[in-house]
Amino acid sequence: MAVPFDQRPDLIWFDGKLIPTAECKISVLTHGLHYASCVFEGERAYGGKIFKGTEHSERLKNSARVLDFEIPYSVAEIDAAKQLVLEKNNQKDAYVRPVAWRGSEALGVSAQNNKIHLAIATWEWPSYFDPEQRLKGIRLDLAEYRRPDPKTAPCLAKAAGLYMICTISKHRAEQRGYADAMMLDWEGRVAECTGANIFFIKDGKIHTPIADCFLAGITRATAIQLAHRRNIEVIERRIMPEELSSFSECFITGTAAEVTAVAEIANWKFTPSRITQALMNDYSAEVQPKGKAAAA
């Protein structure tokens, strides 16, 4: 049986101090727990180096500002803290989770003077999906919940509250035998998966939804850059579900998912082929520390 996360034998960086994970506690009256005033990042380290760590730290700071609070550490300080936790936990290939939230000084909708906390945890974590299945293509359900209108929620922040419908949708997908679920936006257009961006391929060109009601992921941007290096056109546009039958390939991207092929979305079928496989290989090479990649 896996060790519960709060009993792991490693260290967490908590408000500037390294604390054993089992001793890292917060109050049940924390504002971030009751009112979702909490932002976070998901990052990966390869060979002991965090891939695009500074971009993640910048996004963490920006997400907090969207939720009307300021994390009391600079981007450089957050970067250094993340690297310190990795080193102290003696982890090379790991997942990195910075999380910031409002504390327990006041418990009501208004909490402008609550202390802002920052914690950083790391742990060894294998591929989000089965490695063999990533090549064959995973199966996606079609989620019942939709990404909200940007006028109704802070959609461009990586905020904890926005993931409530993602957890529900992923649970339902897994209960039906799928690996994940694709979500539509509030107008019924293709948006993203529960924790990953989505891409489609048709006639040698890549199509992906405009990221205006969900995060334009850092891995998403990397995949687009890799496609451009291969002179593959990437078109960001509105995509309707009825178009899915016209696409030949599909893949998703995310820090956890990396680049993963998709074989099925509900009743739509895809065949992972040349472009998807090339981008999967390119991404694997891109995330490796330069010295290690050159030696491979």
HEC string for the chain: CCCCHHHCCCEEEECCEEEEHHHCCCCCCCHHHHHCCEEECCEEEECCEECCHHHHHHHHHHHHHHCCCCCCCCHHHHHHHHHHHHHHCCCCCEEEEEEEEECCCCCCCCCCCCCEEEEEEEEECCCCCCHHHHHHCEEEEECCCCECCCCCCCCCCCEHHHHHHHHHHHHHHHHCCCCEEEEEECCCCEEEECCCEEEEEECCEEEEECCCCCCCCHHHHHHHHHHHHCCCCEEEECCCHHHHHHCCEEEEEECCCEEEEEEEECCEECCCCHHHHHHHHHHHHHHCCHHHHHHC
CA distance 206 to 233: 6
- For residue 245 the two structure tokens come to 């039958």
Determine the pLDDT at residue 2.
80
Determine the pLDDT at residue 1.
65
- Which of 42-56, 165-179, 281-295 is predicted least confidently? 281-295
- For residue 159 the two structure tokens come to 């905020």
Determine the pLDDT at residue 294.
40
**Average pLDDT value for residue range 242-265:** 96
In this predicted structure, the answer to whether residue 293 has a pLDDT above a threshold of 60 is: no
CA distance 115 to 220: 33
CB proximity list for 141: less than 8 A, separation 6 or greater: 169, 172, 173, 176, 178, 180, 181, 182, 265, 266
| Predicted confidence (pLDDT) per residue in 189-238, tens digit | 999 999 999 999 999 999 999 999 999 999 999 999 999 999 999 999 99
- For residue 86 the two structure tokens come to 């990795």
Domain map (residue ranges) of the chain: 8-124, 131-287
Written as one letter, the residue type at 32 is: G
**Residue 152: alpha-carbon gap to chain centroid:** 22
Are 153 and 123 in contact by the 8 Å Cβ rule? The answer is: no
Confidence of residue 273 (pLDDT cuts 50, 70, 90): very high
From the CB of residue 28, how many other CB atoms can be counted at a distance below 10 Å?
8
CA distance 148 to 153: 7
CATH topology agreement for domains 8-124 and 131-287:
no
Residue of 134 and 16 predicted with greater confidence: 16
From the CB of residue 144, how many other CB atoms can be counted at a distance below 10 Å?
12
In this predicted structure, the answer to whether residue 127 has a pLDDT above a threshold of 80 is: no
8-124 in CATH: which number? 3.30.470.10
| Torsion sign over Cα 178, 137, 42, 233 | negative
| Predicted confidence (pLDDT) per residue in 38-68, tens digit | 999 999 999 999 999 999 999 999 999 999 9
The Cα-based distances of 21 to 70, 85, 274 in angstroms read 25, 11, 44
Taking each helix axis from N to C terminus, what angle separates 75-88 and 53-66, rounded to the nearest 10 degrees?
Answer: 120
User: Between vectors from CA 237 to CA 232 and to CA 241, what angle results, nearest 5°?
Assistant: 105
Domain over 131-287 is classified CATH 3.20.10.10: yes
**Average pLDDT value for residue range 100-108:** 97
Average pLDDT, the chain: 94
User: Between vectors from CA 253 to CA 249 and to CA 257, what angle results, nearest 5°?
Assistant: 110
Residue % of the chain over a pLDDT of 70: 95
